[in-house]
Structure 1
């Protein structure tokens, strides 16, 4: 079934043993300058970036486009200097004092009705049943988008379909592992960029690029390797999700 949604690319750095953070879930700063430049390039190529609340809590900020050439290219293409930065979270339990809320980007929130309660005093939130699930917010979030299933979970497909309807055609997903797992389970990922960094983190509780319940091997999503290259000690892997063609 064709899903009218943005082309979605996961961009993550991981240790050689497949961990995106240590067992304390500290901010993952083990990537090199080359990896940071690669991430910035992927962000610059996107109309919006999406990340979970855990990722935002760990870092407290988001990565903005700062390279002059990347900024120039976006402006020449008629795009704003920065893509939209979207937090997706069921609870929306976020500290409004973190630096993220002072960064010069458009901030959106995708959440449930329950998750929007904290922010209701700051802006009016519309439900998905109102057909226009966006409302101006003067400070923290320019838009709060409420898309909810009957079971009270975030309806990620409906949220992505809404993004596509307002001309967001390319979306970069920056973590964490639970978000990536849920999107893979719903077949909402098109590509992955994985940077393999030269360290071992270990730990049974350390997060991985894909968490959640996991997949049986015979039902696991299959990947096609598009390209691979190395920069000093890091390996950059670019995959595409394989899909059956009717």
Structure 2
């Protein structure tokens, strides 16, 4: 493996985030803080089925997952799309770096940005609401797993997109609504039928439930289901990327 090549891509992508620090880091943190303040104040004491947790503490994992999914996907998709847009992708393809180095560089940088955001958001949330993490090691591992999986997913979107509009279709029109409907602000158990059954068809429900379990110790679904789903999605994304690089689809057009 070309470690130097992978680190060069990684550093370049990571520095891009710090060059646009307001849009990449500060804006998501401010948005999440506003969600905590507004929803925490408006809904506190009015939501049943929280297992004894305060509403502000209950929505912290959901809001954290909302940021992780959107930022991981957007950062990775934009990172690989720009070389395609400018034509620099051909230099990358002719350089002595393979699929592994490319993924370590682009996906690793996108996942790192998401982890930085997660740490900042949890620190900011601690100033607004009183919450604790029941399983900190599992929470950290699960955050890394989700960041990596959706950075890979964003990488696929960046390869698929042939215009800036397509970069936003999946994150804004599919991923964001599914996250809001995935139990970010409420437990699935309080939904009446048939909405509770329909909610279980939403894959984001299991991701939010998994992170909420690591924070609160209780969730709508077993943690093994959430971990299994996330690992399966990560493996699927790696397989798709391997096929794309093997066939050159969207890379050599």
| TM bucket normalised to smaller | under 0.3
Higher strand share: 1
The higher radius of gyration belongs to 2
Higher helix share: 2
